[in-house]
Structure 1
Amino acid sequence: AAGTGPVAVDAERASGYRYGQRAYLVQLRRDGAGSALIDPVGCPDLTGLSTALAGSEWILHAATQDLPCLRDIGMAPTSLFDTELAGRLAGFPRVGLGAMVENVLGYALEKGHSAVDWSTRPLPEPWLRYAALDVELLIDLRDALEDELERQGKLEWAREEFDAIASAPPAPPRKDPWRRTSGMHKVRRRRQMAVVRELWNARDQVAQRRDVSPGKVLGDAAIVEAALALPANVAALTALPGFGHRMGRRQLEQWQAAVERAKALPESELPQPGQQPAGPPPPRSWADKDPAAAARLSAARTAVSELAERLHMPQENLITPDTVRRVCWEPPKVVTPSAVEDTLAGYGARHWQIEQVGPLLVRALAATA
């Protein structure tokens, strides 16, 4: 908490190595205090540090990636500046930290340790130097981007975005996460879907117990192969891609038991096909289901695309595609500027987005009415 001004913050996870997305290293830097590296394995509760930093602006790069694991150890900002999002709003074509530092500040960051296992203990000295560099220039990058956003007239827009990130509640747990198994589109029958579910849950329990990435326990491709084949016994399972004698008899029996549980389920307990998410149907079907809505969407997309190009920012940062689809599928009964603004606000659009996009949508909706 020593020093003055904003605090550069970063966290390293062990994605692909460990179960979950916990932080295994936290890096901080502040003018007047220098840099600090904290081991959250040895210091798992950093609430006191977060309290000491209360009221200070935190600088993060791609904040939404790090905030969940920081919250898990008691760290949460009251205000922040996201250099990755700032780069998007300012129109930079490449917004990775290395590219931003090089393009904006003229420095080349060291590469080579971004995908290492940060749960390793002790952490090698070169890894620690690499981690420290991630916050070394964040303050300078933040200041340069603030100047650029001010020059473009977008600084207040960025502040609205940063405030929305800082105040957003944690994301709720995914419903039926097994449905996101890679290759799930090949699985059509409900019995096969039950096999995916049982194997996914069994794998997750093993991964959590062993604290390893689920993919290291059993690959998604193997789960799908077993679901499609519905093997009758361990020998049949062993013959499938992704399984094999190297797994060991005990492991193979564990996976076959999951398959058998799915095969034994009564029809009433089999999973239903994936439910259509709430909201409008896929746009490709609009022309048949509602030609007027398809015309509204086409006009709105064109207008939003042209505005995003003029503002030099990605369309999805100007307004989310889902919001545009929802407004076009079910527009206000009476299309007026205030009605469209209220609808956009109801979908979570920020004030600056409503100000920029609202008039375009009013024209698109009115022209195709």
Structure 2
Amino acid sequence: MAEAAQYTVIDTAEGLAAACAALAAGSGPVAVDVERASGFRYSQRAYLVQVNRRDAGVFLFDPPALKDLSPLQAAIGDVEWVLHAASQDLPSLRELDLLPPEIFDTELAARLLGWERVGLAAVVEATIGVVLKKEHSAADWSTRPLPQAWLEYAALDVEHLIDVRDELVLALEEAGKSEFAAQEFEATRIREQKPPRTDPWRRLSGLHTLRGRRNLAIARQLWLAREEYAMQQDVSPGRLVPDRALVAAIAAAPASKSELASLKDFNGRASRSQLDRWWNAIVAGRESADLPQERVPSDTLPPPRAWVDRNPEADARLKQARPAVEERAEQLHMPTENLLTPEMLRRVAWAPPAPADALSIGEALRGLGAREWQIEQTAQLIADAFVRSVQAGDEGPEPA
């Protein structure tokens, strides 16, 4: 049996320079992947960057130790980068000033091809017949030193990716979807991160069970206190005190710090060691003159089931357009959400442009972020469906 390869993490300037020289001399696109410590650390920073290129090999870089990865950008910054689920890794790469000039996303390609299983292991097996083990995907990649088994797992994430990319290129060409894919890849590459939420504390799980603006003020203070401490410690907030524990403490309304400490449901690794912090937050929330509104303005559309009462014309439009888009997705052998997201369709159905013809609907979809190929495939379908919705309304209900 062949001996398993041994991998070394590059964590010195000398090692970085040698690896970058090899990568620059390689051929073709580069495969890139990132390992984070989601659920363990506060940030989404990269704790390992894996790169593979033909005629160069696989290299594993340690961003926290290296700090400056500009030599890597210089070595591979002028060729296509192959990633799997690129939207997950690009933000972490941007933090390191690693910016691809163009990308190929193997997961997105598999989706456009209509494959049912699009995880990395499934796509690798379907394209080149190699079976990957995925036992370390949820590991704490901030661990140092990294175990050799983890490094082997990380290396395999990029070792076969270029071969997979080549097979997918052929499959996309055969399906007539190469241009679809090119537009999707570029949209993913240049997509800007969403701006921070105005009230991120409102995402506290279980917040909806609390009643009253005073309780919301306490929830806000507890969330802010936990966020501040999590940032200081570089630990995922939920590992300090889970959301459910914060909500339980608010619902219990403890009268004193000792009563808070005695709450069984107020748990977590920092629930007692930082008791003063949490009690001070509760007091600050109880004394705050700035009480949050229970309902905040939002541009979120109501759920479609409520449309028939809230906006019956929009309901009729959606009920005609949605099956038409679903049918076209079926014809193209891809998930409906990859042809056009449900949110985009709901937006144009709720408030269609005037006139609601294919040209105007295309402009509306473009403003919502739809790609040109999506507009070409759906704008006329949607316009025709909207016409049918009006005709159905004019005919009125059938007589009993």
Q: Which residue in the other structure is 1:166 paired with?
A: 189
Q: Any idea what the Cα deviations from partners look like across 1:137-187, whole Å, max 9, x if unmatched? A: 100111111111111111100000001111222332232211111112212
Instruction: Pick the aligned partner of 2:304 from 283, 293, 296.
Output: 283
The counterpart of 1:367, out of the listed 388, 392, 399, is: 388
Q: CA offsets, 1:229-282, max 9 Å, x none?
A: 22221232223344269857552222111011000012xx11112425315332
1:203 to 226, 240, 243: 226
Q: Which residue of 1 aligns with 2:21?
A: none
Select the structure of larger CA radius of gyration: 2
> Which residue of the partner structure matches residue 309 of structure 1?
330
- Asked if residue 341 in structure 1 is aligned to residue 362 in structure 2, the reply is yes
Deviations 1:275-328 (A, max 9, x none): 253153322221111111101011111111111122121111111111101100
Match of 1:118 in 2: 141
Q: For 2:49, which of 23, 26, 29 is the aligned residue? A: 26
Q: 2:38 is matched with which residue?
A: 15
Cα shift at 1:208: 1.0
- AA at the equivalent of 2:182: R
Matching residue within 82, 101, 125 for 2:105 = 82
| 1:67 alignment partner in structure 2 | 90
Stretches of structure 1 lacking an aligned partner (at least 5 in a row)? none
Change (3 A) 1:241 1:157: farther
Does the CA contact (< 8 Å) of 1:238 and 1:245 recur in 2? no
Q: Which has the higher mean CA deviation after the structures are superposed, 3-12 or 304-313?
A: 304-313
Query: Which stretch of structure 1 is more off in the superposition, 324-333 or 45-54?
Result: 45-54
The Cα of 1:120 is off from its aligned counterpart by: 0.7
Matched letter for residue 147 of structure 2:
P
SS at match of 1:11: strand
Assess, with a 3 A threshold, how the Cα gap between structure 1 residues 280 and 234 changes in structure 2: closer, same or farther. Answer: same
Number of positions where the alignment pairs a residue of Structure 1 with one of Structure 2: 367
Deviation at 1:223, TM superposition (A): 1.1
1:49: how far off?
A: 1.6
Q: Separation in 2 of the partners of 1:291 and 1:92?
A: 36
Matches within 5 A, 1:235-314: 235-243=258-266, 251-266=274-289, 269-314=290-335
Match of 1:356 among 377, 380, 384: 377
**TM-score normalised by the chain length of structure 2:** 0.88
Between the aligned residues of both structures, percent identity stands at 52
Question: Does the CA-based 8 Å contact 2:103-2:189 persist in structure 1?
Answer: yes
**d(CA) in 1 for partners of 2:100 and 2:268?**
50
Looking at structure 2, the residues matched to 319 and 251 of structure 1 have their Cα atoms a distance apart, in angstroms, of: 47
Q: Which residue of 2 aligns with 1:215?
A: 238
What is the rounded CA distance, in whole Å, between the counterparts of 1:95 and 1:27 in structure 2?
Answer: 20
Contiguous gaps of at least 5 residues in structure 2? 1-23, 391-400
C-alpha deviation, 1:63, in angstroms: 0.4
What is the RMSD of the two structures over their aligned residues, measured on CA atoms?
A: 1.6
